[in-house]
Chain A
Amino acid sequence: MNNRIRELRARDNLTQMELARMVGVRRETIVFLEKGKYNPSLKLAYDIARVFKMRIEEVFVFE
């Protein structure tokens, strides 16, 4: 599963720490997500998509 977190974060001028605070996870989790080393839970994926005001499938791409 790929994701567009890094791209969307840059678009919204958010740091990893800010995004982590907004979705209630540790910064390392955002790092792992951006590197594609971790697939988030449905809740976390939903929370991240909501921060970017997008749908889950627009942020996370299943291949």
Chain B
Amino acid sequence: MRKAILTAFLAVLVVGTIILWIFNTERSSDTKMSLNGSSILMIAVALVILVYGALVILKGIRDVKNKLPSQDELSKKIMLRGAATAFYVSLYLWLAIMFFEERIELERSSLIGAGILGMAIIFALSWLYHRFIGRAHE
């Protein structure tokens, strides 16, 4: 449960920071409140974090109801393995972003947003892979 509270706190903190950042960016620019690529990416990142936070909280509540631990040795191993795989794949993502940086017309902040969103998606997919395929005899 403590982990769920911590995750919720971090999710709110990150989302709050992103909202503030978008608000300040929009105010400082001459354009009116229109959604550009960077803002959309940041909102997408915020949504991914929010959904993840909500899922962790729901799982925590369900576990407390069932009197089960929110984490055990298998879930920790899946998380570690998912994070390790995501780290390696993310390196290639950033290499790709560096390669395409000058070829596509996007602001640097948008590219960074895309990278962060990509890392989040890669981690989610990696976690799902290890969660459902299993870690047989490792």
A contact residues vs B (CB 8 Å cutoff): 1, 17, 20-21, 24-29, 32, 35-41, 44
Contact = CB atoms under 8 A, between A and B. Distances in A.
Contacts of B67: 21
Nearest to B70: A26
Contact of B136 (A21, A25, A38): A38
Given A40-B73, A41-B73, 7 more contacts: A24-B69, A25-B68, A25-B69, A29-B75, A32-B74, A38-B135, A38-B136
B101 interface: no
Interface of B: 63, 66-69, 71-75, 134-138
Contacts of A27: 66, 68
A25 B69 CA distance: 6
A25 B71 CA distance: 8
A43 B134 CA distance: 20
B134 A32 contact: yes
A29 B71 CA distance: 10
B135 A24 contact: no
Given A24-B72, A26-B69, A32-B74, A39 B137 contact: yes
Contact of B73 (A17, A20, A21, A44): A44
A50 B45 CA distance: 46
Contacts of A38: 74, 134-136
A8 B73 CA distance: 22
Nearest to A29: B74
Contacts of B66: 17, 21, 27
B74 A36 contact: no
Contact of A37 (B68, B75, B136): B136
B73 A1 contact: no
B64 to A, nearest CB: 13
